[in-house]
C-alpha cells in the first residue's frame, strides 16, 4: 500500500506538472501572438526601376514580409544579425505606381498588413540615383554593421535600429566602390558624409577623389576635392559613361559615408519659342515655352553664360531679364534647360537690338519694386515690372493685392535716378481673363512721383475707370526717381481686389540730331570745304517717340565765331514715330577763307518766325 500510495502521489504530482506546463505554454503563446503592425512606411529614394523605403521597427519582430502590389516580394535583411526595417524593391517598371505594404512576424505569427505606401517610379527622362541598391564594396569596414551596402541603400540616417553608414576599417588608402551593373551615363555625385547622420556630427572626408572605370582596374579622376569642410557635397560634371564609380581617399583618419548618390543623365527638352517681351537702352526681357521637369535654365548672352532664370515662390520661371547692356547694340540670347546636372541642347538664338540713348523707353523695366500687400508670394510687385503682360511662365506674372476692403493698395518702383517721363501704360490684371478674377482692374487710382520715396505728388488721377485691360496716361514731362500706383480704398463687396499685370513708365520722347557731315552735289562725303562753293549738309534725324510722328523743318546755319549768322538754309521733314532719316540741305559756303561753324536746328515750322538776319560783316 505504501508503495502504491507513493506511486499514486507521483502520478498526481506528474499530472500537476503537466497542467502547470500547459498553462505556462498558453501564457507564453498569448504574449507573443500580439504582433504589432508596421507603421509610418516612408519612401527613402527611387529611380526608374528601384524604390527604397522604411518603417518604424516593431517590437520583438523576427522578420518582415514585404508585399508589392499585394504580392509577397521578399523579406527585409539582417545586418550584423540585426533585423532592419528597410527594403529595396528592384526590377520595377519606369513611370509606374506601386503599392508597398509590410507584415511583421514573430516566429510564425504575423501582424496585420500595414497601411499601403504608394510610390511612382521615375520616368525615363527623370534623373535618378543609379547607385540605389547597386552592389557596393569597400577597401574594408569597421565591422559587419558598417558595410559598403549601407552607402547605397537610399537612406541617410535613422531608418533602422542600426547605424546605416559605411565606416572604413584597416589602413589608408580607403575606398568605396559601386558597380552599376552596366555602363551608365552620369553627371552628378552627391556625397552624404558621416556628419549627415546625427550620430556623427561634423564628420566628413577632407581630401578625396571620385573616380570612374569600365574595367574595374584603370581609374580616371572625375572629381578632386581638397580641404573639404562640408558634410554634404554635390559635384556636377559633364556627362561621362562608366560602370564602376568609387570614392577614394588617402586620409589616414579614415572614411565614413552615409550615402553616395550617383545621378544619371536624362533627356532634357530644348527650350523653344524665345520671345522678346520688352527692352530699353540697357535691358532686354524675354521668355520661352517651359520645358517639362526642368529644374533650372541657363541663359547665354552672345554665347556666354549670363545667369539663371529665377524662382518665384519656389516655382521656376521661363523668363529672363538681361541687364547692363549697351545701347543700340544687337545681342544674341539663347537658353539651356537643366534637370539636375543634365542639360538640353542650346535653344535657337533670339536676336534683339537695344534702343538708342534718348529714345522713349520703359525706364521701369526690371527695376526694384515694393508693394503694400499681396495675396501670396507668387504675386509680388516685381511682377509688374518684368516686361511681360500675359503667360510667360507657369504662374501668373502680375501683382495681386490681398483685396482687403476700405484700405489703399499700392505698388512702387525705384528707377535708380530721377528721370524725365511723360507716359504711363498700365495693364490692369488679369489681362488673360483668369476665371474668377474679372473685377481686378483699378477703378479709382492715382499715379504718383517722388524723389525721396516719402512725399508723393499726384501725376495722374483717375476716378470711375471702366477699362478692364489697358489704360494709357500722357502727361507733361516730369522728373522723379520713384513712382507709385495708388489704388484708392474700395468698399467691401465691390469685388475690387486690385491687380496690375504691367506698369510701363516711358521716358520723355526726344528728337535727336546727329553730326553734320558735308557732301558734294552728288552726295559723296568730302573731307575738306576748301575751294568748295555749293555743298550739301548731311544730317541724320531721329524721332524717338514710340507713337507720335514729327513734322517740321531742319535748319542749317553757318556762323562766324560761333555767334554771328552768315548763312541759313532749311528743308521740310516728316518722321514717323520711332524712326530716323538722313536729310541733305544744300548750302552756299563763302570763299573768303574765314572759319565757319555749322549748326543744325529742328523747328516746328517757319510760320510767324521772324526772318533770320544775315550778318553783312564779312572779314
Mean pLDDT for the stretch of residues 443-460: 97
pLDDT at 7 (0 to 100): 37
Residues 501 and 527 in one domain: no
Alpha-carbon dihedral sign for residues 523, 524, 528, 534 = negative
pLDDT in tens, 574-598: 888 878 889 898 888 777 767 778 8
Residues 348 and 335 in one domain: yes
Between 284 and 17, where is the model more confident?
A: 284
Residues 111 and 165 in one domain: no
User: What's the whole-model pTM score?
Assistant: 0.61
* Location of C-alpha cell 516730369: 478
- Residue 125 pLDDT > 50, yes or no? yes
Q: Which of 60, 93, 120 is the last residue of a domain?
A: 120
Q: Has residue 493 been placed in a domain?
A: yes
Highest mean pLDDT among 222-231, 402-411, 467-476: 222-231
- In our burial notation (b when 16+ CB lie closer than 10 A, e otherwise), range 164-199 reads bbbbbeeeeebbbbbbbeeebebbbbbbbbbbbbee
- Residue 439 pLDDT > 70, yes or no? no
Residues 372 and 503 in one domain: yes
CATH number at residue 173: 2.60.120.260
pLDDT at 144 (0 to 100): 82
pLDDT at 360 (0 to 100): 81
What percent of the chain is modeled with pLDDT above 70? 85
Q: Has residue 295 been placed in a domain?
A: yes
Mean pLDDT for the stretch of residues 439-446: 86
pLDDT at 484 (0 to 100): 98
- Residue 102 pLDDT > 90, yes or no? yes
pLDDT at 495 (0 to 100): 58
pLDDT at 394 (0 to 100): 41
**Span of 174-178, 371-375, 539-543, 608-612 with lowest mean pLDDT:** 608-612
- Residue 618 pLDDT > 80, yes or no? no
Cα 452 to Cα 446: distance, rounded to the nearest angstrom: 18
Paired strand residues for 115:
none
**Span of 319-333, 426-440, 548-562 with lowest mean pLDDT:** 426-440
Contact 456, 487 (CB under 8 A): no
Contact 425, 503 (CB under 8 A): yes
Mean pLDDT for the stretch of residues 267-291: 92
Pairing of strands 311-312, 304-308: unpaired
Q: Has residue 524 been placed in a domain?
A: yes
pLDDT in tens, 352-365: 999 888 778 899 99
Between 394 and 403, where is the model more confident?
A: 403
Mean pLDDT for the stretch of residues 258-266: 91
Phi and psi at residue 216, to the nearest 5°: 65, 20
Mean pLDDT for the stretch of residues 498-510: 87
pLDDT at 514 (0 to 100): 77
What percent of the chain is modeled with pLDDT above 90? 52
Between 398 and 315, where is the model more confident?
A: 398
Q: Has residue 37 been placed in a domain?
A: no
Mean pLDDT of the chain: 84
Question: What are the grid coordinates assigned to 489, written together?
Answer: 480704398
Q: Which of 488, 507, 526 is the last residue of a domain?
A: 507
Residues 523 and 496 in one domain: no
Q: Has residue 227 been placed in a domain?
A: yes
**Span of 75-84, 142-151, 252-261 with lowest mean pLDDT:** 75-84
**Span of 200-204, 226-230, 334-338 with lowest mean pLDDT:** 200-204
- Residue 37 CA from chain centroid, whole number: 43
Q: E-strand spans in 356-433?
A: 368-371, 399-400, 409-428
Contact 111, 58 (CB under 8 A): yes
Cα 546 to Cα 541: distance, rounded to the nearest angstrom: 15
- Residue 21 pLDDT > 50, yes or no? no
Domain interval for residue 321 = 275-353
Q: Which of 326, 353, 380 is the last residue of a domain?
A: 353
CATH number at residue 81: 2.60.40.10
Q: What share of the chain is helix, strand, coil (3-state, %, to 5)?
A: 10, 45, 45
Q: Has residue 84 been placed in a domain?
A: yes
Count of the separate structural domains present in the chain = 5
Mean pLDDT for the stretch of residues 480-504: 85
pLDDT at 481 (0 to 100): 97
Contact 291, 337 (CB under 8 A): yes
Helix runs in 176-225, H state only: none
Q: Has residue 27 been placed in a domain?
A: no
- Residue 109 pLDDT > 90, yes or no? yes
- Residue 21 CA from chain centroid, whole number: 72
pLDDT at 159 (0 to 100): 44
Residues 212 and 343 in one domain: no
Residues 406 and 442 in one domain: yes
Residues 372 and 500 in one domain: yes
Q: Is 381 helix (H, G, I), strand (E, B) or coil?
A: helix
pLDDT at 161 (0 to 100): 45
156 backbone φψ class: left, alpha, beta (φ>0; ψ -120 to 50): alpha
User: What is the radius of gyration, based on Cα positions, of the chain?
Assistant: 39
- Residue 250 CA from chain centroid, whole number: 38
Residues 435 and 539 in one domain: no
pLDDT in tens, 552-571: 888 888 888 777 888 888 88
Residues 348 and 388 in one domain: no
pLDDT at 139 (0 to 100): 96
Contact 101, 87 (CB under 8 A): no
Mean pLDDT for the stretch of residues 276-297: 92
- In our burial notation (b when 16+ CB lie closer than 10 A, e otherwise), range 455-484 reads ebeebbebeeeeebeebeeeeeeeebbbbb
Contact 485, 500 (CB under 8 A): yes
Residues 502 and 380 in one domain: yes
Q: N- to C-terminal Cα distance for the chain?
A: 172
Residues 590 and 549 in one domain: yes
Residues 6 or more apart whose CB falls under 8 angstroms from that of 572 comprise 551, 552, 553, 554
Q: Based on the number of CB atoms within 10 Å of its own CB, is 147 exposed (0-12), middle (13-18) or buried (19 or more)?
A: buried
Q: Has residue 247 been placed in a domain?
A: yes
- Residue 466 pLDDT > 90, yes or no? no
Pairing of strands 220-225, 208-213: antiparallel
Cα 602 to Cα 40: distance, rounded to the nearest angstrom: 81
Amino acid at each position: 500500500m505504501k508503495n502504491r500510495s507513493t506511486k499514486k502521489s507521483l502520478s498526481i504530482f506528474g499530472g500537476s506538472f503537466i497542467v502547470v506546463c500547459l498553462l505556462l505554454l498558453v501564457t507564453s503563446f498569448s504574449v507573443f501572438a500580439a504582433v504589432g503592425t508596421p507603421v509610418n512606411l516612408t519612401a527613402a529614394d527611387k529611380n526608374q526601376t528601384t524604390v527604397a523605403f522604411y518603417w518604424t521597427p516593431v517590437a520583438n519582430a523576427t522578420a518582415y514580409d514585404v508585399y508589392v502590389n499585394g504580392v509577397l516580394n521578399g523579406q527585409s535583411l539582417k545586418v550584423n544579425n540585426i533585423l532592419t526595417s528597410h527594403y529595396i524593391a528592384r526590377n520595377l517598371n519606369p513611370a509606374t505606381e506601386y503599392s508597398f505594404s509590410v507584415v511583421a512576424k514573430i516566429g510564425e505569427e504575423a501582424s496585420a498588413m500595414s497601411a499601403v505606401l504608394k510610390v511612382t517610379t521615375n520616368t525615363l527622362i527623370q534623373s535618378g540615383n543609379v547607385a540605389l541598391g547597386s552592389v557596393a564594396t569597400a577597401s574594408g569596414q569597421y565591422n559587419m554593421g558598417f558595410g559598403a551596402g549601407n552607402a547605397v541603400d537610399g537612406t541617410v540616417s535613422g531608418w533602422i535600429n542600426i547605424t546605416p553608414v559605411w565606416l572604413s576599417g584597416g589602413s589608408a588608402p580607403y575606398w568605396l566602390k559601386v558597380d552599376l551593373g552596366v555602363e551608365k551615363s552620369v553627371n552628378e555625385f552627391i556625397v552624404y558624409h558621416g556628419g549627415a547622420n546625427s550620430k556623427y556630427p561634423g564628420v566628413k572626408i577632407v581630401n578625396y577623389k571620385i573616380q570612374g572605370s569600365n574595367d574595374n582596374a584603370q581609374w580616371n579622376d572625375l572629381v578632386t576635392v581638397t580641404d573639404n569642410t562640408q558634410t554634404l557635397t554635390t559635384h556636377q560634371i559633364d556627362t561621362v559613361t562608366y560602370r564602376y564609380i568609387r570614392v577614394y581617399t588617402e586620409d589616414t583618419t579614415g572614411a565614413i559615408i552615409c550615402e553616395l548618390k550617383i545621378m544619371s543623365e536624362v533627356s532634357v527638352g530644348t527650350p523653344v519659342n524665345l520671345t522678346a517681351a520688352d527692352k530699353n537702352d540697357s535691358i532686354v526681357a524675354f521668355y520661352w515655352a517651359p520645358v517639362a521637369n526642368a529644374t533650372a535654365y541657363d541663359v547665354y548672352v552672345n554665347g556666354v553664360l549670363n545667369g539663371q532664370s529665377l524662382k518665384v515662390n519656389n516655382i521656376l520661371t521661363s523668363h529672363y531679364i538681361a541687364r547692363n547692356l549697351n545701347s543700340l547694340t544687337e545681342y544674341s540670347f539663347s537658353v539651356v534647360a537643366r534637370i539636375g546636372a543634365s542639360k538640353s541642347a542650346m535653344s535657337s538664338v533670339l536676336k534683339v537690338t537695344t534702343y538708342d540713348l534718348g529714345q522713349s523707353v520703359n525706364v521701369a523695366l526690371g527695376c526694384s519694386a515694393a508693394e503694400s500687400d499681396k495675396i501670396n508670394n507668387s504675386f509680388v510687385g516685381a511682377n509688374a515690372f518684368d516686361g511681360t503682360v500675359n503667360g510667360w511662365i507657369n504662374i501668373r506674372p502680375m501683382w495681386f493685392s490681398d483685396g482687403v476692403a476700405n484700405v489703399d493698395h499700392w505698388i512702387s518702383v525705384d528707377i535708380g535716378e530721377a528721370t524725365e517721363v511723360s507716359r504711363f501704360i498700365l495693364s490692369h490684371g488679369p489681362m488673360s481673363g483668369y476665371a474668377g478674377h474679372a473685377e481686378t482692374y483699378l477703378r479709382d487710382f492715382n499715379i504718383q512721383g517722388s524723389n525721396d520715396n516719402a512725399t508723393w505728388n499726384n501725376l495722374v488721377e483717375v476716378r470711375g475707370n471702366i477699362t478692364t485691360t489697358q489704360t494709357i496716361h500722357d502727361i507733361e514731362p516730369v522728373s522723379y526717381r520713384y513712382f507709385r500706383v495708388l489704388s484708392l480704398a474700395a468698399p467691401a463687396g465691390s469685388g475690387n481686389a486690385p491687380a496690375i499685370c504691367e506698369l510701363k513708365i516711358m521716358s520723355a520722347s526726344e528728337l535727336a540730331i546727329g553730326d553734320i557731315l558735308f557732301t558734294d552735289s552728288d552726295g559723296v562725303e568730302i573731307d575738306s570745304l576748301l575751294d568748295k562753293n555749293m555743298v550739301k549738309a548731311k544730317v541724320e534725324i531721329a524721332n524717338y517717340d514710340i507713337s507720335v510722328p514729327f513734322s517740321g523743318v531742319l535748319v542749317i546755319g553757318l556762323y562766324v565765331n560761333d555767334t554771328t549768322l552768315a548763312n541759313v538754309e532749311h528743308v521740310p521733314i516728316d518722321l514717323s514715330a520711332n524712326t530716323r532719316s538722313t536729310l541733305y540741305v544744300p548750302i552756299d559756303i563763302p570763299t573768303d577763307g574765314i572759319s565757319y561753324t555749322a549748326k543744325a536746328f529742328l523747328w516746328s515750322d517757319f510760320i510767324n518766325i521772324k526772318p533770320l538776319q544775315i550778318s553783312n560783316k564779312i572779314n
